[in-house]
Structure 1
Amino acid sequence: MKKEDLLTYEFLKQFKTGKDHNGFLAQLQKCGLEAILNGELDPPPLACISFRLVILNFASDLFSA
């Protein structure tokens, strides 16, 4: 399935506010980071230092809880 097939108007119109949209993006990012930490997805290239820092901070928060 292609990304374009998922991002239809019908899907996107459920986000009525910026808060709804940002909540969805945060949830999507969390799922992606968990998949990377579980070895289910490859991390971005090493050049993406800021993304790697986000992963490390997320992992730190996840394991300190």
Structure 2
Amino acid sequence: MNLASLSSALSPRNPRSSLRTPVLYYMQALCEEVDLLSTRIAKIGNLLHSTVQYGSKGRAKRDT
């Protein structure tokens, strides 16, 4: 095997394609983090909503 064929075998054919995979992994991980964060926010919102509803029902019973 000569040096020219060895260097072409070791170097990526398209430099953009060598970046594509890490970028896709990063974007996928970022999307998963956003999904997890939005799920947490939704759960906190539901908890807050149920707490406020429970508190207002208790207050209405005390007022009557």
TM-score normalized by the length of structure 1 = 0.36
The structure that is helix-richer by fraction is 2
- Higher relative contact order by CA 8 Å / sep ≥ 6: 1 or 2? 1
